Every structure is written in C-alpha cells, then in structure tokens.
Amino acid sequence: MLTLSVDLHVHTTASDGSEEPKEVVRQAALLGLRAVAITDHDTVRGVEEGLSFGTAYSVEVVPGVEINTDFNAREAHVLGYYVDFKNQAFLERLNSLANTRTIRIEKMVARLQSIGLPITMADVLREAGDGTLGRPHVAASLVRLGIVASADEAFERFIGRNRPGYVPRSKFAPQEAVELILEAGGVPVLAHPGTVGDDRIIECLMEAGLKGLEVYHPDHDEKMVEHYLAIARSLELLVTGGSDYHGRGYHACLGGVTVPYSVVKALQQARQV
C-alpha cells in the first residue's frame, strides 16, 4: 500500500533540487508517503527544516546525505542515513567537500567561457541559490541563457564527462565516504550501483563498513534490480530504494520508486551508537 511506502532518496534546494525541504515534505504528505529521506549532495542543510515540517505534516523524515565520490574513473555515490547532522566534525568535512565543489564549478565556467559561451559564475550562483553547487546548476544556467534546450543537452554537449566544459572532481574515495558516514553515526548505503559500472566496488566498500545497496532506483531496470537484490541477499546487505527526486522535470517523480516502511526500521536498527 502507498501509505506504507517510503522514498529514501530525495534532493532539495539545499543541493541541486528545485524545491525547498518543506515543499518536498508537503508533497510527500499529499502522496500518502509514510516517510521520506532528505539526501542532498554533500550537505545536510535541508534536514532540520525537513524534520520540522515532517512533524507538521505527519511524515517521518529520515536525516540523510549523498556523498559524491569516484571509483576507477566512474562516479560513485554513497548515501548516509540517520547521520548526526549536528556533529561538528562531520559538518566541517562536508563544508570542505562543498568548497571543492565551488572551485570545480569555477573551473568549468572558465572552460565554457574559453570556448565562447556567455556564462558567468553569477549565472550559476543565481540558479543554485543557497544550495550546494553542482553541475545541474551549470546546466540550468545554459538552459536559461538559451545555449541549450535542456539540461540533458547541456550534459551531452558541454559538461558531461569528456565534454569541453568538464572538470574532474577533487579525488574523494567511496571508502572515505563510508567511513565519514559511520563516524557520524549513520548507515552507509551504495547509491544506484548499476550506474557505477563496476560491481567490485561493493566488496571494497564492505571492507570499509558498507551496510546496504540501493537496489530500487529509476536507473535500474528489472534485470539490474534482480542482480543487485541477489547480491544484497548473498552479502546480507540492507536493501533500500528511492526516486532520486530533484524536482518536477528531473528524474522520477517523488514517490516514483518506494520501498516498504520496514526498510526504515532496518536502517534504524543498523545505525551506529
């Protein structure tokens, strides 16, 4: 039943989502979701507002984060659930990651300018607002400037890997992300493993303390779901899932991919004390 469903992968304006935490929670309530996890990129700034409105709307909000890393020249994201979002050491490390994001975006804008595109950091910052900077904000700027028709086109032509405006991230290993989440009392889960393209990452992260796999995700087809479900069961990892919601027009709809409420209970039991 939908009333027993939870969406454990949601972004807000705290990073590259288009809707504020309170709006995400309000929509979750209208959809009848029992719980929703706020998992912004490299920041927990949206969690407190989400928790506050979760109480108002009777939606359980799971405090989370999604940390971006690289594994063998591929992007690998690690979700952290029930992190201590007020832990000072954790916040300082996230701030450091956010600073590297800003430097990266400045370099990307410079590269785009070097090929004649009329984009500035002011354009990107306008799209980001108070959110943690990311490539989607560059893409949104290119759309607003009329250089491309869509964010997808922006990535395909200019800012995707091996495109003229692409700049690699500062190196941060997924093992480091797992350890960071554990230190903050959270439960580390490998996000959408099918997009990593290398299942060797799973056992590498288990050695660091990985607790689960995001089996259900919009980028996973039925065969991939079966594949990662089998791996999770064989390795006794938690099975999670979510929509990776970024707002209307991005990825899946809120609640488009859900898992039972029992997954929330399992994450609570797995959290570090």
Pair 58, 125 in one domain: no
**Contacts of residue 20, Cβ cutoff 8 Å, sequence gap at least 6:** 12, 13, 46, 49
Is 25 part of any domain? yes
How far, in Å, CA of 156 to CA of 197, rounded? 19
Number of C-beta neighbours around residue 63 at 10 A: 22
| Counted domains in the chain | 2
- pLDDT tens digits along 16-55: 898 999 999 999 999 999 999 999 999 999 999 999 999 9
Which pLDDT belongs to residue 73?
79
Pair 218, 121 in one domain: no
Which pLDDT belongs to residue 1?
42
How far, in Å, CA of 90 to CA of 182, rounded? 10
Residue in this structure with the two tokens 């290993």, named with its chain if needed: 173
Residues of the domain holding 124: 101-159
Which pLDDT belongs to residue 170?
77
Number of C-beta neighbours around residue 163 at 10 A: 15
Pair 116, 85 in one domain: no
Pair 154, 175 in one domain: no
Pair 115, 208 in one domain: no
Is 165 part of any domain? no
Q: Each residue's pLDDT tens digit in the chain (273 positions)?
A: 445 699 999 999 999 898 999 999 999 999 999 999 999 999 999 999 999 999 999 999 999 999 999 898 788 999 999 999 999 999 999 999 888 889 999 999 999 999 999 999 999 999 988 888 889 899 999 999 999 999 899 999 999 989 999 998 777 899 999 999 999 999 999 999 999 999 999 999 999 999 999 999 999 999 999 999 999 999 999 999 999 999 876 668 999 999 999 999 999 999 854
